[in-house]
Amino acid sequence: MIVPTLMQLCRSEFEALAKTWLLLGAIQVTLHDDGLLIAHYPGDLLAAEPDLSASDPNSGLSMHLYGIKGAQWQIVADAQMHLLGRLLGSEGEMDSLTGSLVETQDRLVALYDLTRATRGAMEIRDVLCLLAVESTRLLDAHGAFAVVKIPDQAPIIHQFLDSPYPNESLLLVADLFFLHPEDNNFKECSAVPPGLGNVVMLILSVRPQVQACLGILYKSREISSPDSKLLKAITDQGSASLDNALFHLEAVESARLETEMTLARQVQTALLPQSLPKIKGVDIYGISIPASQVGGDFFFITSNSEHALTFYLGDVTGKGMPAALLMSMTNTSARSAIRYMPFSEPHILIDRLNNDLLEDYSAVDMFVTIFVGMFDPDTHQLLFANAGQSPVIYASPNQETILLEADDLPVGIFENHHYSMKSLNLSQGDILVITTDGFNETSNEKGELFGIDRMKNIINRNSHRSAKEIAESLCAAVSEYGGSDRQEDDRTLLIMKVTGDEKPVFHQTEMEVYAEYEQLRIPAQVLREVCSAAGVSEDLIGKCELALQELLTNLVNHAYEGNPQGVIRVSIQVTADRVIMQTEDSGNRMESDLDSVEMPDPLLLQESGYGMAIIKGLMDEVTYRNGEGKNFWLLAKNYTKE
C-alpha cells in the first residue's frame, strides 16, 4: 500500500509511463494499489478486461494495459512496476526519516525551553513544577510528579497529573524508590496505589543529604531509545536546576544568619563594659576578643557603695550563638545580683548565679566557669571565689609568679552547691591576671600550646607597665603564636594591678630611634603629645623637650660618635605630678662626672659644652647608670597640673 501523499509524487511519473504505452498502441493504462484503482490515463475510463497486467508485490502496486499484447511487453511492464515500486518505497523511507528529524528537532527545542525556564527559577517549587509539566509534554506522558526531601524540613512534593493523588502516596512511592533506586518496578508492590504502578522513576542527583526524584506516568509500556535519551537530558537538567535552587536557599539562609550574628554581636558589645572605673590605688583593665562574631566569654568591673571594686570574668562552654545566648543571660544575672545584693561576698554571688541558672544550663548540657573578686583598696584585701575559671595568675614582686588553683565546680552543674571564698592580702606592685583558656590553649602550627609558663613570663617581663600594656603584650604574643589563622577560641582577660601609693600612670610610651639628628624629632613629638594629654603646661613641656633634645644630641655625638646605625631607646612616662624621660643606648660610656658639670662662662663664647649643664639646670632629677654594655639615663621633672 502506498501512502496517499505519495500518489502526488508518482502521478507525473505514471503519466509519462502511460504516454509511452499509448505510443506503443495501448488505448488505456490504469494503476492500482492493492487492487484499488488509483490512477488511469487518458481521460475517460473504459470498462473492459485488461490485455496485460503487471505488479510489484513489495509495494502492492499493479498496472493494467488495454489494447496491447505480447510477451515482450509483459517483461517491460513488470520491470516498470518493479522500478515504480522501488521509487515509491524510497520516497516513503525519506518521508518517515524527515518526520523523525522534525520530531527530534521539536523535542530539542522543547528541552531548550525547559533549560531556559528552569534557569530562571530560584525557588524549589518553581523548579519542580517546571520539571513535571515540561517532562510530561516532552514525553507525551499522562503526567509527572516530583519529590524533594531536605533534612530537618518537610518533604516538598509537586504533582502534575490528570487525577490528583494524595501527597502521601506520592511520597510513599518516592521513599520506596530511594530505598532501591535500581529497581524501578512498583507494580508488584501492594502498598503502591493503583495507577502509580506504571510510573517511571528517575533520580535527580543534587547535593548530598538531599533526596530528589521525578516520577513520570508513561503512556506506553516501553521506553523508546530517543525517549530514554530525552529522559536522561531531562534528569540532568532537572538535577542542575534543583541543585541551583537548593544552593540559593542555602545562600539566603546563610545571609540571614550573618545578619543575625552581626546584630547579636552589636548587642554583646553593648553588654560588655564600655568604660573601666577608675579606682584609687588600682590599675584595672579588661578586654574580650571573641573568635567568631559572638562568643561565650564575658567580664565585668564595677564599683558600688559597699565594695570599692567588684569584678568577674567568665567563660561559657562552647562557642558561637548558643554560648553567646547563655553568656548574655549569665552576665545579666551576675550584674543584677551585684546591684541588688551589695553586701554580698564573691561566693554568695556565685551560689546565687548557680541557683538562678542551673535549669537553663542543664537543659542544654552546658556550664560556665567564673571568677569573682572584690578588692578593698584601703585594706588591700582581695576576696574571691573561683568556680572553675583558669588560668588565674598572681604575680607579686620578689615572689614566684603562681597559678591560683580553680578548685571549685563550674556553675550550672550541681544544684545547691555551695561555693567557697578565699582571701589574699595584696601589696603594691601585685598583679592579678585572669584569662579564659583561649590564651594558654592557643596552638601554633606544630600543635604546641601557648601554655601558662609563657603567660607568666610575659607578665613578669612587663610587670612594671600598666595593666593595659600588660594586656596588650599578652594579646599580641598569643596572636603571633597562633599565627595568621583564624582565632580558634574566644580570648578574654582581666588584669588588676595594685599601684598603692604609686600615682596612676597617665601614659607610658617607648620608642626606638636611630642616632641621627632628624630622628630625634620623633621622641620630641611624642613627649609633647603625651604631656599635653596629661595636662602639663606648655612652659614645662618646652623645658622637658629641651632637656631631652640635649641628652639625645649628646648620645648621638658622644655615645655613638655620629654613627647613624646606633639605636637609642626612649621611654616617656607621665604621672600625675612627674614627667620621666629615660634612654637606653649601647654606645660609649660617659666619662665625665655629672656632678662636676657646670655651665660655661658665656663671655667665653664657647661653642660646645652647654648640653649637660642645660639638662641639669632644667631637670629635677638626672641619673646615669651603666651596665651590661648599656647606658641608662633618667631625666625627671616634677610639675603641678594647671
Partner 1 sequence: MEMTAKISGSVAIATLKGRFDAHEVPAVAAWLQSSQQSGLVHILVNLEGVNFIDSTALSSLVSGLKHCREKGGDLYLCRLTQPVRVIFELTRLDNAFTIFPVEMDALVAFSTPC
Residues 620 and 637: beta-carbon distance below 8 Å = yes
Is 617 a binder of partner 1 (CB under 8 A)?
Answer: yes
Is 619 a binder of partner 1 (CB under 8 A)?
Answer: no
Stretch that binds partner 1, among 183-191, 211-219, 325-333, 540-548 (CB under 8 A): 540-548
Which residue type sits at 438? G
Is 613 a binder of partner 1 (CB under 8 A)?
Answer: yes
Residue closer to partner 1 by CB (options 347, 543) is 543
Smallest distance, Å, CB 574 to partner 1?
19
Residue closer to partner 1 by CB (options 480, 538) is 538
Smallest distance, Å, CB 546 to partner 1?
6
Peptide bond into 42 cis (omega under 30): yes
One of 556, 559, 568, 570 touching partner 1 (CB under 8 A): 556
The span from the CA of 597 to the CA of 551, in Å, is 14
Annotate each residue in 113-152 with x if it binds partner 1 (CB under 8 A) or - if it does not, as one string. ----------------------------------------
Residue closer to partner 1 by CB (options 460, 553) is 553
Is 614 a binder of partner 1 (CB under 8 A)?
Answer: yes
Smallest distance, Å, CB 600 to partner 1?
8
Q: Pairing state of beta strands 368-376 and 309-316?
A: antiparallel
One of 96, 166, 600, 630 touching partner 1 (CB under 8 A): 600
Is 594 a binder of partner 1 (CB under 8 A)?
Answer: no
Smallest distance, Å, CB 640 to partner 1?
19
Residue 311's DSSP bridge partners are 301, 373
Residue closer to partner 1 by CB (options 192, 597) is 597
Smallest distance, Å, CB 393 to partner 1?
45
Residue 642 DSSP SS3: coil
Smallest distance, Å, CB 602 to partner 1?
4
Q: ∠ CA(244), CA(247), CA(248), 5° rounding?
A: 90
Give the list of residues 6+ apart from residue 462 with CB closer than 8 angstroms, or none. 469, 470, 473
Is 539 a binder of partner 1 (CB under 8 A)?
Answer: yes
User: Does an H or E element contain 64, and which?
Assistant: strand 61-66
The span from the CA of 124 to the CA of 88, in Å, is 53
Residues 452 and 459: beta-carbon distance below 8 Å = no
The span from the CA of 371 to the CA of 199, in Å, is 67
Is 109 a binder of partner 1 (CB under 8 A)?
Answer: no
Provide the phi-psi class of 491: left if phi over 0, else alpha when psi is between -120 and 50, else beta. beta
Smallest distance, Å, CB 580 to partner 1?
20
Residues 609 and 600: beta-carbon distance below 8 Å = yes
| Distance, CA of 296 to chain centre | 19
* Closest to 66 in 3D by CA, of 45, 80, 84: 45
Is 599 a binder of partner 1 (CB under 8 A)?
Answer: yes
Residues 428 and 498: beta-carbon distance below 8 Å = yes
Pull the grid cell for residue 450: 601557648
Is 585 a binder of partner 1 (CB under 8 A)?
Answer: no
User: Does an H or E element contain 11, and which?
Assistant: helix 4-23
Stretch that binds partner 1, among 305-313, 383-391, 401-409, 613-621 (CB under 8 A): 613-621
Stretch that binds partner 1, among 98-106, 128-136, 227-235, 614-622 (CB under 8 A): 614-622
Distances (CA, A) of 99 to 61, 104, 151, 543: 24, 9, 47, 105
Stretch that binds partner 1, among 177-185, 334-342, 426-434, 516-524 (CB under 8 A): 516-524
Residue numbers of the site for partner 1 (CB under 8 A)? 517-518, 520-521, 524, 539, 542-543, 545-546, 549-550, 553, 556, 599-600, 602-603, 605-608, 610-611, 613-614, 617-618
